[in-house]
Amino acid sequence: MKRALITGVTGQDGSYLSELLLSEGYEVHGVVRRSSTENFERIADLSGKIHLHQADLLDQLSIIDVIKETQPDEVYNLAAMSFVPTSWKQPVLTGEFTGIGVTRVLEAVKLLGRDRIKFYQASSSEMFGKVLEVPQTETTPFYPRSPYGVAKVYGHWITVNYRESYNMFCCSGILFNHESPRRGREFVTRKVTDGVARIKLGMAKTLKLGNLDSKRDWGFAGDYVRAMWLMLQQDKPDDYVVATGETHTVKRLVELAFDAVGLKWDKYVEIDSSLVRPAEVDLLIGDPTKAKTKLGWKPEVTFEQLVEMMVKADLARLQGQSIPDFKAKGI
């Protein structure tokens, strides 16, 4: 039985990846950080099926200890401060966690199993930022536009560097935006589908958004974790772009979500200038040819299906319940 260790197991991708690895017969271990209340909602169904360990990417010894204890064959480093606007408010923490944190995991892998443990790094299309090529491929130069993007560029190159310096099996997946009903409510897709469901159910009157013109290549998270796993099943480590190859504006997302409940978006959406970013990534569209040809990967869920799935899930979740709509400033 193969053993996998996932950092960021409580996140959107961590939950889907855990399910996939269990279905492939793995023993799954996850890293959780200490908090005053448990934050295991996304992995609640996996209770008793996966093993959780306390560690923190800010603490080198805790990472070494968890790898020593679990002796994994594969390590998936998914933990990060992943919300782009927060990275302007907490740039130092973002650098420590999303950037240097990668080195801490790589150092622990090098120390305890450099010839044996396969490593996956969650790189991001946000690294392409002010894009220098359309569509973006594995060879497109990076031009990050946020402290988050800058930290991810560091995480990406340190992963490549450990592969080249120490001959370690390190892969970096350059994943474009991927969403699901488990997406955090601060990200635009989920903010929109949750907002639309609240308006439909009479729980809200408006939806405040920032830039409606930016374009993203949005896919389904359940499809994307399969690509992560496939990367570690190859004979040689490499880097891959994972994307749908389609791009849509935020406005199109909004239209589709309101259409799904039979409402006209322009009656409800308000532009809030505080949600516009200091520097924007205007256009992302990936070319997943390498992942398709070498990994045999392709996305199964279309953008339209994804939006409909998320609106339906939010309607079902909110119906008959009154879940408060808490939001911190700027979200």
Mutual angle of helices 12-23 and 221-232, in 10-degree steps? 60
Contact 24, 37 (CB under 8 A): no
Give catalytic status of residue 148 as yes or no: yes
Q: Which residue type does 123 have?
A: S
Contact 60, 112 (CB under 8 A): no
Distance CA 24, CA 242 (A): 21
Residue 84: beta bridge partners? none
Of 51, 114, 130, 277, which lies in the binding site for ligand G4F, with binding defined by CB under 6 A?
277
Q: Which residue type does 173 have?
A: G
275 binds, among ligand NAP, ligand G4F, none (CB under 5 to 8 A by kind): ligand G4F
Of 63, 105, 209, 307, which lies in the binding site for ligand G4F, with binding defined by CB under 6 A?
209
Q: How many whole angstroms from its chain centre is CA 121?
A: 11
Binding to ligand NAP by CB under 6 A, coded x per residue (else -) over 108-147, reads --------------x-x-----------------------
- Beta pairing class for 215-216 and 248-249: antiparallel
Give catalytic status of residue 126 as yes or no: yes
Of 50, 66, 80, 153, which lies in the binding site for ligand NAP, with binding defined by CB under 6 A?
80
Look up residue 56 and give its two tokens.
């923190």
Query: According to the binding rule CB under 6 A, does residue 177 interact with ligand NAP?
Result: yes
Backbone φ and ψ of 200, nearest 5°: -60, -40
188 binds, among ligand NAP, ligand G4F, none (CB under 5 to 8 A by kind): ligand G4F
Binding to ligand G4F by CB under 6 A, coded x per residue (else -) over 157-186, reads -------------------xx--------x
Give catalytic status of residue 38 as yes or no: no
Query: Closest Cα to residue 161, out of 239, 249, 67?
Result: 239
Residue nearest to ligand NAP (CB): 11
CA dihedral sign of residues 101, 8, 295, 140: negative
Query: According to the binding rule CB under 6 A, does residue 226 interact with ligand G4F?
Result: no
Query: According to the binding rule CB under 6 A, does residue 185 interact with ligand NAP?
Result: no
Distance CA 170, CA 153 (A): 15
Of 5, 21, 78, 284, which lies in the binding site for ligand NAP, with binding defined by CB under 6 A?
78
**Smallest gap from residue 263 Cβ to ligand NAP (A):** 26
Distance CA 12, CA 252 (A): 23
What residues line the site for ligand NAP (CB under 6 A)? 8, 10-14, 33, 35, 39, 57, 78-82, 97, 122, 124, 175, 177-178, 184
What residues line the site for ligand G4F (CB under 6 A)? 82, 84, 124-126, 176-177, 186-188, 191, 209-211, 214, 216, 250, 275, 277, 280-281, 284
Catalytic residues: 124, 126, 148
